[in-house]
């Protein structure tokens, strides 16, 4: 999980900004300001179009980053970022997925308090006291809030040119975004047909009736629960609890521990592992190919 002690350990790690810069591809696109305006990328990757977007929800104006193939209709994907929210590392994940034939929305989960990018990368997050800064914003992101957001997001996606409504929607989340995928799938089961959690925290909350593993009877989606090896070492029973809940709810779920530590999927994370990340990407694409067909 995204514990402060873990971030303190990460702060001791050296993050190569030169390496991160090499991964960025197209220039960064800041999320648009609140309101109905959209900002269009000046240098999108070949074959893609991307823009910053904003739209109304029950709780305010949600902003995000939307990237999709230049032509044709494609299944939509909701990407819930980790604790450091929208930044180039997350936009690049979305771009790679768009190149594989998906229309991807990267959500700003903190839109109730702030708009757009708050941290350029994880190094900035750590240096700027990010954990303390986002703490009050995170407290608002309970199951009910995310489920309201998911309902608004699906409605928005289904009204976008290039989104294929004949196919289900996928959702993927990282760290704190992991449980958001299950809450999203439970909120809109008729549309969200695949959900993937990568090193997600809080998927099993025994004393919380809204724990993701307790809502699987509301889900009609295939699941990929990719657990970090260090998270599993801290809470080894969680994977079994989740898998048993999925079986009881008759939800197809692959629950597996990856050979990477918390954050292995994200290029600007101190725990990034290219080999394990490539496996995660392949497993994600296989999930979407099967469930969103």
SS3 49: strand
**Domain CATH for 190:** 3.40.50.1820
Rounded distance between C-alpha atoms, residue 236 and residue 226, angstroms? 13
- Ramachandran sector of residue 17 (left: φ over 0; alpha: ψ -120 to 50; beta: rest): alpha
Q: Is 34 exposed, middle or buried (0-12, 13-18, 19+ CB in 10 A)?
A: middle
130: tokens are 């990010």
Residue 76 pairs in a beta bridge with: 103
What domain count does the chain have?
1
29-33, 176-180, 248-252, 267-271: range with lowest mean pLDDT: 29-33
Does residue 38 have a pLDDT over 70?
no
Read off the pLDDT of each residue in 274-291 and give the average, rounded to a whole number. 98
Predicted confidence at residue 14, as pLDDT, reads 37
What mean pLDDT do residues 182-190 have? 98
Residue 34 has pLDDT above 60, yes or no: no
Domain residues for the domain of 138 are 4-291
pLDDT bucket at 45, cuts 50 / 70 / 90:
confident
Share of the chain above pLDDT 90, in %: 84
Residue 43 reports pLDDT greater than 70: no
The answer to whether 240 and 213 have CB atoms below 8 angstroms apart is no
- Cα–Cα dist 284/47, whole Å: 21
Alpha helices (H) in the chain, listed in sequence order: 4-11, 17-23, 88-99, 122-127, 130-138, 143-157, 177-187, 229-234, 237-249, 274-291
pLDDT band at residue 5, thresholds of 50, 70 and 90? low
Q: Please report which confidence band the pLDDT of residue 189 belongs to, taking 50, 70 and 90 as the band edges.
A: very high
Mean pLDDT across 211-227: 98
pLDDT confidence of residue 293: 86
């Amino acid at each position: 999980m995204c514990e402060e002690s873990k971030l303190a350990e990460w702060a001791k790690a050296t993050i190569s900004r030169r390496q991160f810069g090499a991964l960025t591809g197209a220039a960064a696109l800041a999320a648009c300001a609140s309101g109905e305006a959209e900002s269009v990328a000046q240098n999108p990757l070949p074959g893609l179009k991307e823009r910053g977007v904003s739209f109304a929800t029950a709780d305010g104006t949600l902003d995000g980053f939307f990237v999709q193939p230049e032509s044709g209709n494609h299944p939509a994907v909701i990407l819930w970022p980790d604790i450091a929210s929208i930044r180039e590392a997350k936009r690049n994940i979305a771009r790679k997925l768009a190149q594989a034939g998906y229309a991807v929305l990267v959500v700003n989960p903190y839109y109730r308090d702030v708009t757009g990018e708050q941290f350029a990368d994880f190094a900035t997050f750590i240096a700027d006291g990010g954990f303390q800064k986002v703490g009050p914003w995170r407290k608002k992101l309970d199951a009910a809030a995310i489920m309201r957001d998911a309902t608004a997001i699906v409605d928005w996606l289904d009204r976008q040119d290039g989104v294929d409504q004949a196919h289900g929607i996928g959702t993927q989340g990282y760290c704190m975004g992991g449980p958001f995928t299950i809450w999203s799938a439970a909120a809109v089961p008729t549309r969200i047909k695949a959900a993937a959690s990568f090193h997600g925290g809080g998927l099993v909350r025994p004393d919380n009736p809204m724990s993701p593993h307790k809502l699987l009877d509301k889900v009609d989606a295939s699941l990929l629960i990719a657990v970090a090896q260090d998270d599993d070492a801290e809470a080894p029973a969680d994977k079994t609890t989740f898998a048993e809940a999925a079986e009881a709810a008759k939800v197809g779920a692959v629950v597996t521990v990856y050979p990477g530590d918390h954050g292995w999927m994200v290029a600007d994370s101190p725990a990034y592992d290219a080999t394990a990340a490539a496996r995660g990407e392949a497993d994600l694409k296989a999930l979407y190919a099967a469930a969103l067909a």
